[in-house]
Amino acid sequence: MSDSQRAEQPPNNLRAKLALALALLTGTSLGIGAYTFAYAKGGAYLTNNPSACANCHVMREQFEGWQRGSHHAVASCNDCHAPHSLVPKLFVKALNGFNHSWAFTTGRFVEPIRTTSLNQRVTEGACRHCHAPVVDAIESHARGARTRGDEQVSCVRCHRNVGHLH
């Protein structure tokens, strides 16, 4: 090895200190993440159990409304709030899980809770999936109205509280 190559490489003890610092940082991050996941009952969010959605106090009203509503007998939270295909479902659940964890950990959320445009589109898609015959009939009738420039019919705009009675 030439002198210039030797000069470019850090001494062994510096390399060992950097490796130790990286290992400590990685271990600490993983430990905090695992503790937070366990403390927040994160495993419950990997299931289809609606009570997992009520782990957070801001969802209690929505959960209780769903229990009293007509969808209680036929749909869980994921049926309406997650796509029906596996990969998009996992993506939306992971994105929402991260966003919810961040918001609740930092205290940066508004009450009453509001949905994002992505989650509104997901819920709209779920309505259209389960109620396709009705939606198709409404859409075919509404096409005439759209010739005047009206926007597309929206299930969630008119039936905002269907799944969560208040």
- Higher-confidence residue of 122 and 141: namely 122
**Residue whose tokens read 């994921």:** 78
The rounded distance, in Å, linking the Cα atoms of 84 and 12 is 53
- Residue 152 in this model has a pLDDT that exceeds 80: no
Q: Domains along the chain?
A: 60-158 (1.10.3820.10)
Write the CA distances from 61 to 53, 55, 157, integer angstroms. Answer: 11, 12, 20
- Residue 164 in this model has a pLDDT that exceeds 80: no
Indicate the SS3 state at residue 40: coil
Note the maximum CA span of the chain.
82
Q: Span 115-119, mean pLDDT?
A: 90
- Higher-confidence residue of 145 and 17: namely 17
Residue 92 is predicted with a pLDDT of: 93
Q: pLDDT digits over 54-100, tens only?
A: 877 778 888 888 898 888 889 998 999 999 999 999 999 889 888 88
Side-chain-side CA neighbours of 115 within 13 Å: the count stands at 17
- Residue 27 in this model has a pLDDT that exceeds 90: yes
Q: Which two tokens stand for residue 72?
A: 């209680």
Residue 93 neighbours by CB under 8 Å, 6+ apart? 45, 78, 82
Q: What is the rounded average pLDDT for all residues in the chain?
A: 83
Residue 7 is predicted with a pLDDT of: 56
Residue 86 is predicted with a pLDDT of: 92
Spatial CA neighbour of 119 closest among 82, 89, 87: 82
